[in-house]
């Protein structure tokens, strides 16, 4: 264990590693992505202990990727991370325009998202006993939010006149999501009960039970938003009590976001609009939900009858010829 730690320190102290760390930071990558890229460079360096990493040849880099795929049997998604990290280092950072990047083709497995029916969503939301959890999960579903997006909504983010919520999305990308008057009134009533100035869904704090404050007072005074751990724990309890686990094995908080997208498309919303609501960077991410809609072939055939151009009687068309 000591040898591994010592070797890791040697790698991270090398100038090329420091320079690449600054490079990915300046590219504006998220901290998690930066760490993933640097981790792959550490693994590559350990794979060739007697060769300086910046001086590796294209075939040596390919051999490392082959080792990850064949010997370590990594999944396509993980292997793709390694390719992106190595390509950023050798092509973008060092300027080596090798042909190997054009040859590598990794097919990623994209499993279909798991969704619930409208009736199952209603059952799940009705299972939450505490109002604060029912409020946050209702918002996640009705707005198609990620967990972190929902817990970090501030009271000022809700525009009652325009009926939208301003969301700080993945990577800090802002967007607006529409809400119904019914949801607006529910959220307004929920916030009025605690009046926390910073958060729509505040936490309770670890010491609220011993503080002699009521739950509403504790929510109003807490400086932090509701924790992801508490939300996930509430979801696990609700899944068990709702009985949905018997028919759905992969329910989680994100299932509500998937269900939102599928239900909107099923109701006739455009892919482009749903993509904007979800905060996707491309339509390709949203297109996967089209495979999950309940629009049947019978509905599609019925729509054919509404297409223009066939209103002229056949007899008159024959006379014109």
Active site residues: 146, 170, 254, 257, 280, 289
Q: What angle do CA 195, 199, 201 make, to 5 degrees?
A: 90
Which residues are paired to 165 by β-bridges? Answer: 158, 177
b/e map 24-54, b = 16+ CB within 10 Å: beeeebeeebbebbbebbebbbebeeeeebb
Which residues are paired to 177 by β-bridges? Answer: 165
Distance CA 201, CA 193 (A): 11
Backbone angles phi, psi at 60, to 5 degrees: -70, -40
**What DSSP letter does each residue of 112-131 carry, written as one string?**
PPP---HHHHHHHHTT--SH
Distance CA 116, CA 173 (A): 28
How many CB atoms lie under 10 A from the CB of residue 219? 24
E strand or H helix at 6: helix 2-12
Distance CA 34, CA 289 (A): 30
């Amino acid at each position: 264990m000591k040898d591994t730690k010592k070797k890791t320190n040697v790698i991270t102290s090398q100038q090329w590693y420091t320079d690449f760390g600054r490079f990915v930071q300046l590219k504006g990558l998220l901290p998690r992505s930066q760490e993933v890229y640097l981790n792959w460079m550490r693994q590559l360096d350990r794979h060739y202990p007697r060769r300086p990493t910046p001086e590796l040849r294209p075939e040596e880099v390919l051999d490392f990727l082959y080792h990850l795929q064949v010997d370590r049997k990594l999944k396509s998604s993980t292997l793709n991370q390694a390719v992106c990290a190595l390509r950023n280092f050798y092509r973008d950072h060092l300027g080596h325009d090798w042909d190997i990047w054009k040859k590598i083709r990794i097919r990623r497995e994209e499993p279909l998202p798991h969704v619930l029916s409208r009736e199952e969503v209603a059952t799940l939301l009705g299972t939450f006993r505490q109002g604060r959890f029912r409020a946050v999960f209702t918002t996640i579903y009705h707005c198609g939010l990620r967990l972190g997006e929902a817990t970090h909504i501030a009271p000022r983010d809700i525009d009652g006149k325009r009926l939208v919520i301003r969301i700080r999305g993945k990577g800090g990308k802002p967007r607006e999501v529409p809400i119904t008057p019914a949801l607006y009134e529910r959220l307004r009533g929920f916030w009025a009960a605690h009046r926390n100035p910073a958060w729509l869904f505040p936490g309770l704090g670890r010491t609220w039970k011993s503080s002699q404050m009521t739950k509403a007072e504790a929510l109003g005074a807490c400086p932090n938003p509701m924790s992801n751990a508490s939300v996930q724990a509430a979801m696990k309890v609700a899944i068990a009590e709702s009985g949905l686990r018997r028919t759905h094995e992969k329910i989680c908080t994100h299932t509500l976001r998937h269900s939102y997208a599928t239900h909107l498309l099923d109701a006739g919303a455009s892919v482009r609009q749903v993509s904007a609501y979800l905060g996707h960077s491309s339509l390709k991410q949203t297109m996967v939900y089209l495979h999950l809609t309940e629009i049947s072939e019978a509905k599609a055939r019925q729509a054919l009858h509404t297409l223009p151009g066939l209103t002229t009687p056949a007899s008159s068309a024959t006379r014109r010829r």
